[in-house]
Structure 1
Amino acid sequence: MNALTLPDIAAQASRQALPLEWVGMCGIALPVLFDGQRLSAKADAGVSLDDGEARGIHMSRLYLALEMLEQDNLTPRLIRQVLHHFLDSHEGLSNNAYLKIDADLLLKRPALISPLSGWKRYPVSIEAQLKNAMFHVELKIDVSYSSTCPCSAALARQLIQQQFVDDFANRSLQHADVLAWLGSTKGIVATPHSQRSQAQLRLTLDDFVDELPLLAVINDAEAALGTAVQTAVKRADEQAFALANGQNLMFCEDAARRLSLALQRCPGINALQVRVVHAESLHAHDAVAESRWRREAE
């Protein structure tokens, strides 16, 4: 008895001839390597179906091509190779290929003062396409930080000034009395409000970039803000964090401008979109600011 040939339904002609822009799979679990770290990731992989007469694509070929990401460090060059493999395996069917990788980058961050350190999570997304033979890569990175409201800080200072006037009116000032007043809740009657905030960064890379600048972008963003959220801390670190917040008062507009100006100086960045979200502790809504920048053609 002869073995029956397994049917290939995807190779059959479509009942309705129509090209499709994107066909593929979403949420594929896979490990990827970045800077020596193995990350748990999810990938979306797809190609265009330009042959409108074809019933479908070969999704298993896309899936198997993703194994290339397990072997080498994640770079634009490797991503380009995967996309070329997508197209080579769909010759005659597809002209464009797409790949998106979502992962959490774990970085060990030191405390501000003490020798402690801890792991911090940075959600990252890499979106790449090979379209009309042109390779394009975008990065999305989320960075958390603390923001202290300048208006709230000014109002708190005014209340403290008024309390000082009330407590020391018509009295001779003694150093010890003022020092004790400054260290008491009676004297510091108000504090400004702060909120955990998030910077959502979207960057388009230049074609010549050899490495994904995730670490450089994160470090530059946190340096520009000055108040990155912490991991393990002692009281000295918490005090240093309070000082950093007091020296980096910012509205969402300030944060967006700081980030945009800092990241424009990063090499290998062709375009930038910044969106900052301050999860207000005063209001039940969030404060949001956005900025866009694109390098002018030389």
Structure 2
Amino acid sequence: MNMHPSHVQSSPDREDAQDALDTLRKWAMSATPEEVADLDPAVARLLPGQEVSNYPALARAYPEEFEVDDAYRATMPDLQNGPTSLIRGARQQLQHVGISNFRLPVRFHRRDESDLTLESSVTGTVSLEAGKKGINMSRIMRSFYKHAEKTFSFEVIEAALDDYITDLDSIDARIQMRFSYPMKIRSLRSGLEGYQYYDFALELVETEGVRRKFMHLDYVYSSTCPCSLELSEHARRERGQLATPHSQRSVARISVELVGEDCLWFEDLIDLARRAVPTETQVMVKREDEQAFAELNAANPIFVEDAARLFCKELLADGRVGDFRVVASHQESLHSHDAVSILTEGPTFAAQSLDPKLFNTLFHVG
């Protein structure tokens, strides 16, 4: 029997790779660009200064002098206005599509007849019919900028909404503007003044030709637990033991639909909230103010259920307010969790399901 030794093929080492590279480079030097491209276009990288003939020579410098004319613009692709065949996924209507958090300075009119310019965050959306691919979102911004120099009111927001409904050929649309509104607040006893900043949002919604106006306010206050207050007093009275009730910074998000002809000013909604729950957090504080605030909290102990109902009472009494919602969060100093409540009036804000992170947004970060 003849025995033949087995040949085990070993992996090439660096020397083998170098030999192969030299061979490939020699071949590429004598081959045509087409032959190189046919083998593998990457081989051309072995030949500095040579180009593959079927690969375009592209300019790499930014053409600052280039100007776009109508003829050139007409050749540019516009996928969002493409045919229905370009739609990916189900051909369903979108209730909202647009842009969120584009910012610009906006001038607002105040209750005292003065104007105030504030940085505003704008969200603009439209509905999208099932047979349309998409929208040109920059048109929403362009529509809004047409009116950005005007003193804003709901009438001006309506004009902006009209423009981008027309520009985008949509049925339903929405604009929301968020901003932080400053008001000078006087301290309780010392007479000092400082600016309190209130998170507001204005919202204009058009659905099936019907327009509705909404205002949202985050009101920040102190809540002293009534149970803790009574237990503290019990310890003092029964055992001569000093004890303090727990209180905490709390936030109520008040959302209202505006109805009727009379204006509900930003200051009006703040005043309404303060009448309902007077323990608003303070700005400028001296010792006499801190003592006064302790007395004010003791005079107005409040559970989170109480807060929602107190705001509700004031809102029901204001003829400029239609449907509304109050979402309250007491960020407990006793517990490692928060106490929360929601109260709605009318069908507008009623919901069976809640945003899982709704209460996480009710934090005042200063």
TM-score range relative to shorter protein: 0.7 to 0.9
Q: In the alignment, is the contact (CA less than 8 A) between 1:33 and 1:74 conserved in 2?
A: yes
Q: Quick one: distance in 1 between partners of 2:83 and 2:128? A: 13
Count of paired positions = 267
Report the equivalent of 1:11.
81
**Deviates further, 190-199 or 68-77:** 68-77
TM-score w.r.t. length of structure 1? 0.83
> Is the counterpart of residue 38 in structure 1 residue 90 in structure 2?
no
**2:330 pairs with 1:260:** no
Structure 2 Cα separation of the partners of residues 233 and 154 of structure 1: 27
Cα contact 2:262–2:320 (8 A) shared by 1? no
- Work out whether residues 260 and 274 of structure 1, in 8 Å CA contact, stay in contact via their aligned partners in 2: yes
> 2:326 aligned with 1:274, yes or no?
yes
Partner of 2:212: 136
Quote the Cα distance in structure 1 between the aligned partners of 2:232 and 2:293: 19
Q: CA contact under 8 A between 2:173 and 2:207: conserved in structure 1?
A: yes
Aligned twin of 2:299: 247
**Hey, what does 1:25 align to over in structure 2?**
99
User: Partners in 2 of 1:46 and 1:113 — Cα distance?
Assistant: 47
User: What does residue 72 of structure 1 align with?
Assistant: 150
The CA distance in 2 between the partners of 1:18 and 1:216, in whole Å, is 42
Give how far 1:134 is off. Answer: 0.7
Instruction: Tell me what 1:236 maps to.
Output: 288
Task: Compare the two structures and name the one with the higher strand fraction.
Answer: 1
Once the two structures are TM-superposed, the CA of residue 7 in structure 1 deviates from its matched residue by 1.6
Secondary structure, aligned partner of 1:236 = helix
- Contact 2:264–2:320 (Cα < 8 Å) also in 1: no
1:158 aligned counterpart, secondary structure:
helix
Secondary structure, aligned partner of 2:274? helix
Q: What is the CA distance between 1:85 and its match in structure 2? A: 0.9
Query: Given the two structures, how large is their TM-score scaled by the length of structure 2?
Result: 0.68
Structure 2 CA distance for aligned equivalents of residues 199 and 125 of structure 1: 14
Q: Does structure 1 conserve the Cα–Cα contact (< 8 Å) formed by 2:308 and 2:326?
A: yes
* 1:198 paired to 2:277: no
Q: Shift of residue 55 of structure 1?
A: 3.3
CA distance in 2, matches of 1:199, 1:23: 29
CA positional deviation for 1:216: 0.7
1:94/1:148 CA distance change after superposition, 3 Å: same
Deviation larger for 6-15 or 153-162: 6-15
Match of 2:329, SS state, is: strand
Retained in 2: the 8 A contact 1:32–1:69?
no
- Tell me the alpha carbon deviations over residues 19-49 of structure 1, each in whole angstroms, 9 at most, x when there is no partner: 4332211111112222211111111112222
Query: Once the two structures are superposed, what CA deviation does each residue of 1:159-196 show, in whole Å capped at 9, x if it has no partner?
Result: 111235xxxxxxxxxxxxxxxxxxxxxxx611111111
- After the TM superposition, which residues 76-225 of structure 1 pair with which residues of structure 2 at under 5 Å, given as runs? 76-90=154-168, 93-164=169-240, 189-206=242-259, 208-209=260-261, 211-225=263-277
Gaps of 5+ in 2: 1-68, 348-366
- In 2, the alpha carbon distance for the partners of 1:41 and 1:101 equals 6
Provide the C-alpha distance between the structure 2 equivalents of 1:161 and 1:53, rounded to a whole number of angstroms: 74
- Cα offset, 1:241, TM superposition: 0.8
Q: 1:159 to 1:18 in 2, by over 3 A?
A: closer
The percent of aligned pairs where both chains have the same amino acid is 31
Q: What RMSD in Å do the two structures reach over aligned CA positions?
A: 2.1
Question: Kindly tell me: are residues 20 and 256 of structure 1, through their superposed partners in 2, closer, same or farther at Cα, counting changes over 3 Å?
Answer: closer
Contact 2:214 2:255 in 1 (8 A): yes
2:152 counterpart SS class? coil
Spell out structure 1 runs of 4+ moving beyond 4 A: none
